[in-house]
Amino acid sequence: MMRRQTQLPRSKQILIGASALLAVLVTEAPAEPYALPDMGSPADAVMSTGAEQRLGKAFMRNVRESLPILDDPVLTDYVESLGRELLAADNNAGGDFTFFVIDQPVVNAFAGPGGYIGVYAGLILAAETESELAAVMAHEIAHVTQRHLMRSIDDQSKLSIPATALLVAAAILGAQVSADAGVAAIAGIQAATLQRKINFTRENEKEADRLGIVTLAKAGYDPYAMAGFFERLAKNSRVYENNAPEFLRTHPVNTNRVADALGRADDFGARQRPDHLRFQLARAKLRERSYKRPEQAVDHFRDTLREGRYRNAMAERYGYALALERAGKPDASQEIATELLAAKPMLLEFVALDGRLDVKQGRASRAVTNLKQAISLAPGSWPLRIAYSEALMATGKPTQALDELRTVARLRPGNAVLYEKLEEAAHRAGDRPATHLFRAEKLYAEGDLEPAIRQLEIALRQRDIPYHDAALIQARLDAWKEEARDSKRKKKDRNGDQRGIRAQANHLQPNH
């Protein structure tokens, strides 16, 4: 079930740049002719691709501790589908990418190590066309494919992957990752040095813009969308004054940058294409969520539908149905959902909504039947499988739900919310070893290594645990224990290094 995240205090908000770092931009030179980047990157000398992937996973755990990630399967699936379109059009794209949505009204996006790309809800709502959203995502993808972050990090050979991830997270997020570790990271000399070194350069930004526009055009989106979005935000910023969008704070836009983006787009020409319906549905869902009270959301969509103030009638009705659902009016919501499903019987958003409403109205068996049929037509749809598992739970079939969720977990490992659902299903199915295993996986995904280890140890002590399951848990336990030992060794080494640096600094004081 989707959980609403509370807004973080301003002092704790994470100001992640659309360039993924605290970008330092100066006046840019006139546009240069397009040329492929030098693929002989020095990034490999800093960190191998495999190590970067491990860093990315550790980094993501730190991000999860700091940001309200929106673990909504349907919204995440849309952002992922847009990301896949852009990746397919990018000749440089390789390896794994992970796209996710952050539940804050911030106009921004970021790219972290290992291909982790976060998109704020505020950016999706601020984008007037799907091409504008795609433009920002293509820019972030270019930062990853060109390994800009790795080019900017010196070899931190004395740091373990989790420690490096903490430092990178502290520098990228511009805030404390946690009350204790964040203070140590930002206050430490190594972290201060790292933050200065991983700022994206002007050349990185220009390269990301240039390659992003190429990807945008190849994917069939409007190549002028990047310049248009930059310019519109810059114009609107005049009324924001000190409350300008984070995109402009972390990713400054000037006339030269807009002109350069326009020049790049001229190489391809305008490509007008209608927005996907799913883009409009995502915006409607986020707008509905933006209202704290469901009654406010109901009033908003009722008024816009009555007055005709909308871009897409189907998306507006979808938002209205979601508002009615949250307001505790499933019958009224179902009436709209039935009409939407009749118009688009295979659209994920409408199938999931219909199934959820069936469960809420005591028709869980009908939801199971319909969702099972939908999965047979789209077996690779993980959001449908999650919806199906929830319907199975509602009909008292936790073992079947557990099997469905295990399938999703094999496709999408490392998701804390998914492991929470698995833990619940295993508990209700009476599978104690699996309950502790999935609780451990959830803790590990959230960055709580020691408690996760304890849960695995408890899982191994359960009676009648199958040999194969015990072997898998033992292998996982051995790996985590080694990670914990390595982290402690590196922490001890760092503490010793910093004591030596402080002693040397004290020795150089005048009174010495």
pLDDT tens readout for residues 300-347: 999 999 999 999 999 999 999 999 999 999 999 999 999 999 999 999
Cβ-in-10-Å burial (0-12, 13-18, 19+) of 498 comes to: middle
Contact 371, 403 (CB under 8 A): no
CA-wise closest residue to 97 among 65, 133, 143 = 143
- Can you tell me the distance from the alpha carbon of 300 to that of 129, in angstroms, rounded to the nearest whole number? 21
Answer whether 343's CB lies under 8 Å from 353's CB. Answer: no
Q: Bridge partners of 157?
A: none
Q: In what order do the strands lie in the sheet with 109-112?
A: 98-102, 116-120, 109-112
pTM score over 0.85? no
β-strand partners of 117? 99, 111
The pLDDT value recorded for residue 143 is 87
Q: What is the pLDDT of residue 117?
A: 92
Task: Report, as residue numbers or ranges, the catalytic residues.
Answer: 140, 209
- Nearest partner of 420 among 403, 399, 441, 404, judged by Cα: 441
Q: Report pLDDT for 162.
A: 63
Sequence-ordered alpha helix ranges (H) in 69-188: 73-88, 121-126, 130-145, 148-152, 161-173, 181-187
Position 273 scores a pLDDT of: 86
Instruction: Give the residues of the chain that fall short of pLDDT 70.
Output: 1-49, 148, 150-202, 236-254, 490-491, 493-512
Q: How far apart are CA 356 and CA 358, in angstroms?
A: 5
Q: How far apart are CA 165 and CA 483, in angstroms?
A: 14
Q: Is 512 flagged in the annotation as binding?
A: no
Instruction: Quote the DSSP letter at residue 69.
Output: B
- Contact criterion met (CB below 8 Å) for 265 and 223: yes
Q: Is 507 marked as a binding-site residue? A: no
Taking CA atoms, 383 is separated from 42, 277, 313, 392, 495, in Å, by 39, 18, 24, 14, 45
CB 427 within 8 A of CB 435: yes
Tell me the H-state helices in 308-397. Answer: 313-326, 330-343, 348-360, 364-377, 382-394
Q: Which uninterrupted H or E stretch holds 423?
A: helix 416-428
Residues 157 and 85: their CA atoms lie apart, in Å, by 37
Instruction: Determine if residue 300 is labeled as part of a ligand binding site.
Output: no
User: Is 352:340 a contact under the CB 8 Å cutoff?
Assistant: no
> Can you read off the two tokens belonging to residue 380?
């690779």
> What's the CA gap between 289 and 74, in Å, rounded?
14
Only one residue has tokens 């919204």, namely 75
**Residue 166 and residue 177: Cα distance in Å, rounded?**
7
* pLDDT for res 172: 56
- Residue length, the chain? 512
- Tokens representing residue 101 in the block: 């949505």
- DSSP output for 391-403: HHHHTT-HHHHHH
Predicted local confidence at residue 150, as pLDDT: 65
Rounded to the nearest 5 percent, the helix, strand and coil shares of the chain are 65, 5, 30
